[in-house]
Chains A and B, each alone.
Chain A
Amino acid sequence: MAEHLLEVRNLSVDFHTAAGTVSAVRNVSWHLDRGETLAILGESGSGKSVSASTIMNLIDMPPGEIKSGEVLFEGRDLLKMTDEQRRELNGCRIAMIFQDPLSHLNPVYTVGWQICEMMTVHDVPGDEAKARTLELLKRVGIPNPEAAMGKYPHEFSGGQRQRLMIAMALALKPDILIADEPTTALDVTVQAQVLALLEELQRETGMGLLLITHDLGVVAEIADRVVVMNKGEIVETGDAAEVYRNPKHPYTKRLIDAAPGKGETRDEEDRLGEPLLRVDRLQQHYGGFHALKGASFSIMPGETVAIVGESGSGKSTMARAILRLDEPSGGKVIWKGRDLLQMTSKELFAIRRDIQMVFQDPTQSLNPRMTVYQIISEAWIVHPDILPKARWKDRVAELLVQVGLSPEMAKRYPHQFSGGQRQRIAIARALALEPKLIICDEAVSALDVSIQAQVIELLDGLRRDLGLSYLFIAHDLPVVRDFADRVIVMKSGEIVEEGHVGQIFDAPRMPYTKALLAASLDPDPEVQAARRNARKSEGLVPA
């Protein structure tokens, strides 16, 4: 049998916590060859990062403990080596890049210095290191590399920082590059560029690429083989396209089914009559910076309008301005014929009942020191006329059932729930006020794919049952496809395109919308391959 570049055999890792021993991975085996891209796919808590951390010697022991198994790098067991020997391999032969490049670059040193240091600690002379750094910065596509050497990490954009991390990882020409969620924090168009860069570099150097991700689209775009993990165990391995087409394990099937953007789009129907909410030339300036440059749109009763845009497009600013969490600089927000922005705080208080918001991160949007009952019933303390106190308990139970939780959970605190359950609590809190419009600011972005699908289903059901309208803000186009009636595409504070969901997805008019669609990743490897070819021939990858 040919020797693999890297092989993990029967690895089991436990973590000893106060709540008992948790086995993070159990009997995990996989291998990586030269020039190959292996993706480890799994949702949060599946243990997908643990084996990579074991390879890099990043597991804190205790509380971690490697129960069994071996990690063979060119036939030598890493776990039997001394720390000294492993340090020599780390960075030099095996390199790693992380999800959040800003927190892994030291803010007080220039990036040139940091990349040089990477080499000088592995005994490369200073001049040579400098020359190589320059070459690397050129290679990863940093504009004006000479000047970039003397800049600090905060002076680069998120995508550029990830490129810097890649440059740093490649400094010593490693045999293996481990990328832990390398594009999760990036915008879709930037994500496509970074993945393309990784692929190119791999072809040039022939290194093995180990990619850890939760995103089926990323797997489809770049991986040769895929390892699917669930609850610390490998459920399926195989060729990426093969696994997508014929998933064997039920978990893989469920994961693939949950991927958004495959369903039918909503029928076009023009709703006539008075709009529920009309935003007219809304502006928001922060000093000299114009976050919103006069955006106008309207929402009809019972309609779901999605706002899609990359970071910095002003979509969250819009939500905050509509709710007057920040006072807008200009424009009008007409709610049932009256301008919200002109209202006194007393009038606004009455309106608060009608417009509610669900935030991105349910961990932060629920007060950690209040029980679920207190969180939900607070709505009725603030607005005492909704419900007499005697009925609070029943109503909380009712709401919990409505969002798919059980009534006994009212006594618990938010930290005792999973991310998806917390988002359900946040939705229950919004429903407590019996609103007409709910603004969802990236309400499903922080959730795993399968949970995402469930929450969207819940929102959709509530819309049907209660006749709610949604303003749904997202950075991810596929999520919006199944759910929205109309889509608004935003870029740097302006509305680029607006239309029915079918029209936006099937016949986009503006180049930016096209680029956004081209850059978003489809979970089907074949579709993705076709798209990639189209992208290359049309040159649609945005700069």
Chain B
Amino acid sequence: MSQTNTTTVKERGRVGTFIRLLWADKFAFFAALFLLVVVLCAIFGPIWLSDEATRQNLRGRNAPPFELSRGFLYILGADQLGRPLLPRIIVAAQNTMAVAAGAVICSMIIGSALGLVAGYSRSRWSGAIMRLGDVIMSFPSLLLAVIVLYMLEPSVANIVLVLAITRIPIYLRTTRAEVLEVRERMFISAARVMGTSDRRIVFRHILPVVMPTLITIATLDFAFVMLAESSLSFLGIGIQPPEITWGLMVSQGRPYLTNAWWLSFWPGLAIILTTLSLNLLSAWMRIALDPVQRWRLEMGGRKNG
């Protein structure tokens, strides 16, 4: 009984510290709030607003934003078929996040796992993995996507698969380069002297050092993947209408840029804000997770030196 009590106290302590550290960096705090909203939209948006987002209203074609005469849902204007933009953006969050997060997480896990192997082991596999990375990199990613999606069904899962494959080399190369450096550090030698297994060295000693770099790259990649997905949609092999994503909305609005900017602007803004938030949050995380740097936040977020 007392055992559980202490653990809950400790848990609350940890969550409390977490929130306090987050509050210390105001940018990161609001970034986290924004991302929370996006995630909620992605989960509940389609259930809640699916009908509104697909209801056409030809009298409201390209309706300008900031007019409340058609109701609150039209606050951001309407698209070329008169569908209100605000609910569409909220509904589109689900597909966008599924594709982007799916692709980034898959490529990060696969890429960094291969990178760890390539960097740590001195066997032939290391060379083979690097050449595999070279092959993927030298192949134009869009071409690869076209071929794969031509053969397979252009579903969310397949798009995630294609985008993940094309982004693997980024993680692979970064991880390998960092591992090669970290592997020679003295605390790794110290661990080996102790008899620590390779697996433990890789996961306990090397990975935590490499992780911040990987997370930073992943957040930058998030934006890239969202845009790559939109270009696939533009080519007609990505997400197919009536399914929507932010990238698809941007490209659908492109012909109307001169007379109805809001068609592309709002989904574009959503993409920018999401990536910006991710970036700010990753910068915060890099500091908060590093015991050498953490004092910067514990000092109360005073920016100094």
Contacts and interface: CB of A to CB of B under 8 A. Distances in A.
A361 B305 contact: no
A382 B196 contact: yes
B305 A16 contact: yes
Given A17-B305, A352-B194, A356-B194, A367 B189 contact: no
A426 interface: yes
Contacts of A332: none
B242 interface: no
A238 interface: no
Contacts of B191: 367, 378
Contact of A365 (B190, B290, B295, B302): B190
Question: Which of B194, B295, B299 has its CB near the most chain A CB atoms (within 10 A)?
Answer: B194
A134 to B, nearest CB: 40
Contacts of A154: none
A357 B190 contact: yes
Contacts of A360: 186
B295 A18 contact: yes
Given A17-B305, A18-B302, A378-B196, A415 B292 contact: yes
Nearest to B292: A415
A381 B196 CA distance: 9
Interface residues of B, number: 26
A364 B292 contact: no
**Residue of A63, A365, A379 contacting most chain B CB atoms (<10 Å):** A365
Contacts, number: 74
Contact of A325 (B189, B209, B295, B304): B189
A18 B208 contact: no
Contact of B195 (A16, A371, A383, A415): A383
B296, B299, B304: residue with the most chain A Cβ atoms closer than 10 Å: B304
B291 A382 contact: no
A413 B192 CA distance: 21
B195 A413 contact: no
Interface string A332-371: 0000000000000000110011011101110011111101
B299 A433 contact: no
B195 A365 contact: no
Nearest to A355: B193
Contacts of A381: 200
A19 interface: yes
B48 interface: no
Contacts of A367: 187, 191, 205
B259 interface: no
Interface string A444-468: 0000000000000000000000000
Given A16-B305, A19-B295, A369-B291, A359 B195 contact: no
Given A349-B195, A379-B194, A63 B305 contact: yes
Interface string A377-408: 01101110000000000000000000000000
A348 B191 CA distance: 14
Centre residue among B185, B186, B305 by max chain A CB count within 10 A: B186
Contact of A353 (B187, B195, B209, B302): B195
A19 B296 CA distance: 9
A284 to B, nearest CB: 16
A471 interface: no
B197 interface: yes
Contacts of B194: 352, 356, 378-379, 382-383, 429, 433
Interface string B204-216: 1100110000000
A365 B188 CA distance: 8
A323 interface: yes
Interface in B146-197: 185-187, 189-197
Interface string B283-300: 000000011100110010
Contacts of B291: 368-369, 371, 413, 415
A379 B200 CA distance: 12
A429 B193 CA distance: 11
Contacts of A365: 186-187, 189-190
Interface string B228-242: 000000000000000
A352 B299 contact: no
Nearest to B296: A18
B149 to A, nearest CB: 41
A87 B12 CA distance: 58
Contacts of A325: 189, 192-193
A348 B196 CA distance: 11
Interface in A411-425: 413, 415
A165 to B, nearest CB: 28
Contacts of B295: 18-19
Contact of B186 (A349, A364, A433): A364
Interface in A1-59: 16-19
Contacts of A378: 191, 194, 196, 204
Interface of B: 185-187, 189-197, 200, 204-205, 208-209, 290-292, 295-296, 299, 302, 304-305
10 contacts: A349-B195, A359-B189, A364-B186, A368-B291, A379-B194, A381-B200, A382-B196, A413-B292, A415-B292, A426-B190
